[in-house]
Amino acid sequence: MVRLIASLVGAAFVLVLGIALFGSVSGAITDPVAPTAESVYHLHPKELELASNGVFGKFDRRQVQRGFQVYKEVCSACHSLRLVAFRDLQKIGYSEPEVKAIANQWVIEQPTINPETGEAATRKNIPSDHFPSPFANEVAARAANNNALPPDLSLITKAREEGTAYVHSLLTGYRAQSPAMLKAFPDAKTPEGLHYNPYFANLNIAMPPPLTSDGQVTYADGTKASVEQMSADVSAFLTWTAEPNLEARHAAGFASILFILIFCGLAWGAYRNVWRDVKH
């Protein structure tokens, strides 16, 4: 009797689920969701070819250094890099004296306490320090950015889908809204204080265009600093900050694959040697 009741309950449960599924599918077919400006005009990130792409990728240290220069002169005014220390810059080709100079000359100093008075104070950065935040706290950051909180960029290329391409597309994607879009979706007009960017999820972003003109940064190596070039370079730098051990990971992967191949060869040879006299 108990089994019969359990079977009936189970059958009823399956029937209800089937009816609900049928209703959802038929509703989606007969009454599809109306398109929105986001679903129609949101763009997929465009491709960005970097030396670090792919399984054989390695960082182009000259490009990563140029990207650091863009971050230093443009992005650091709003965005933190709290998971990266100044001494990490040695991994992209800076010497120890250069790292000391960069840390010492960094515009934003480290918060500290005056040991004599106990009052809040600041001190020069040293190589072991992490990059300081441009704002004292979240409230100050929002107050300076139209109530939007600038994200930390340490892991931004890992935190976003197709992160490197997304960052590059976002930086170069600012534009005016098309008349066709405003005609089709009158309510999609960009609100005051925001900026239209089709690579951003809801098309409107609080961050104004950070790269506004060619030559905004004067590269130390003489590379022409077009907006496209600066965007690609800072995207390469942020790819490095998110995964500084990428080259070591690739090398370890190749070593592991080579070991497995050699081991399989030796195992096969041992197998053939042990069973060579056995007739099937």
Q: HSE on the CB side for 101, CA within 13 Å? A: 5
121, containing H or E segment: strand 120-123
Q: Which residues fall in the annotated binding site for heme c?
A: 75, 78-79, 207
List all residues 6 or more positions away from 206 whose beta carbon is below 8 Å from its beta carbon: 145, 146, 147, 148, 193, 194, 195
Q: Which residues fall in the annotated binding site?
A: 75, 78-79, 207
Which residues make beta-bridge pairs with 120? 113
**Helix 227-242 crosses helix 61-73 at what angle (to 10 degrees)?**
100
Which position has the token pair 């066709």?
A: 180
Which residues make beta-bridge pairs with 196? 204
Q: What is the dihedral of CA 224, 229, 235, 239, to 10 degrees?
A: -60
Q: Tell me if 133 sits within 8 A of 111, measured CB to CB.
A: no
Separation between Cα atoms, residue 157 and residue 164, nearest integer Å: 5
List all residues 6 or more positions away from 46 whose beta carbon is below 8 Å from its beta carbon: 165, 168, 169
Number of Cβ within 10 Å of residue 254's Cβ equals 12
List all residues 6 or more positions away from 182 whose beta carbon is below 8 Å from its beta carbon: 188, 189
Separation between Cα atoms, residue 163 and residue 74, nearest integer Å: 19
